[in-house]
Amino acid sequence: AKAEGRNAFQYYSSDLNKASLGELLLENQLRGALDRDELLLYYQPKVQASDGRITGAEALLRWSHPELGVLLPGRFIPAAEESGLIVPIGEWVLRHVCAQLRAWLDAGHRPVPIAVNLSAQQFAHQDIALLVRGILTEHRVPAELLELELTETMLMRDVERTVGLLARLRGLGVRLSIDDFGTGYSSLAYLKLFEVDVLKIDRSFVNDIRGDDGEEGKIATAVIALAHSLGHKVVAEGVETKYQRDFLTRQQCDQFQGYLFGHPIPADEFIARLHTDTQT
């Protein structure tokens, strides 16, 4: 019974870090997380396919939970979306990235563009162009240092509005990319209307490139050709192996993001890596 008790506790504590924590409890805690300054951003490098140099980074949200440690977005973004907290959280992310860029500029670094993930709610309900313009101005950050990642699903919801919004965002000078490309349901006819800089091939298609199957990489290859024919650059996400890198390079993929080139890391580690990267 004693051993059982210990096991029960082990299950309890590891469950706590997975799923057992009630959505409501988590949601309540998340509400305070912003005020208590428990949110943080990690930065994952994006590299040039031709020479492996860092061309930018994606800011990825983390929650430094007082009891559970650092939580990944999969644990709390659903609750944030459910409750609408994703809107103030998303605003925090934009401000935080711009403040970070400003701090890097002030310290004499030459930062690369940083990409921010926008949520569907931010895109649908906020005047996102006005917000972005305000934050860039507030922190005196050049617009071309900010990139916004938008998913197909967000873009397809109201195509007419999207086309106008993308034009306004582009007018500000920020970079735009379509995230998780290939997993949504964009109509190719509309895709042509969306003026973006980059298509990001979803990780699932990159994961298919394994050298064990004659059909491998067909979707990734098609997405690269499609993106290029529309005048967009292509970033492959979730690149974990040299085999994937070499395959995608042969298909003329422009940039890579994935564990092979670096995990998401804290800001100071990222800027240190950028520094050594540009020196060599």
Write the CB contacts of 2 (distance below 8 Å, at least 6 apart in sequence). none
Q: Does residue 217 touch ligand C2E according to CB under 6 A? A: no
Q: Does residue 122 touch Ca ion according to CB under 5 A? A: no
Q: Which is nearer to ligand C2E, 11 or 266 (CB)?
A: 266
Q: Does residue 179 touch ligand C2E according to CB under 6 A? A: yes
Residues numbered 219-258 forming contacts with ligand C2E, rule: CB under 6 A: 237-240, 257-258
Q: Identify the bridge partners of residue 115 per DSSP, sorted by sequence position.
A: 58, 147
- Taking CB within 5 to 8 Å according to partner kind, which of Ca ion, ligand C2E, none is near residue 251? none
User: Burial of 67 by CB count in 10 Å (0-12 exposed, 13-18 middle, 19+ buried)?
Assistant: exposed
Q: Does residue 94 touch ligand C2E according to CB under 6 A? A: no
CA 276 → CA 54, 126, 248, 267, distances in Å?
10, 39, 26, 15
The alpha carbon of residue 257 and the mean position of all alpha carbons in its chain are separated, in whole angstroms, by 10
Q: Where are the alpha helices (DSSP H) in 57-201?
A: 73-83, 86-106, 120-125, 128-139, 152-156, 159-172, 188-191
Interface segment toward Ca ion; rule CB under 5 A; list 27-35, 72-80, 178-186, 227-235: 178-186
End-to-end CA distance of the chain: 61
Q: Does residue 182 touch ligand C2E according to CB under 6 A? A: no
- Taking CB within 5 to 8 Å according to partner kind, which of ligand C2E, Ca ion, none is near residue 60? ligand C2E
Instruction: Supply the Cα-derived Rg of the chain in whole angstroms.
Output: 20
Interface segment toward ligand C2E; rule CB under 6 A; list 15-23, 71-79, 189-197, 241-249: 71-79
Q: Does residue 74 touch ligand C2E according to CB under 6 A? A: yes
The contact set with ligand C2E (CB under 6 A) reads: 44, 60-61, 72-74, 77, 86, 90, 93, 117, 119, 179-180, 203, 237-240, 257-259, 264
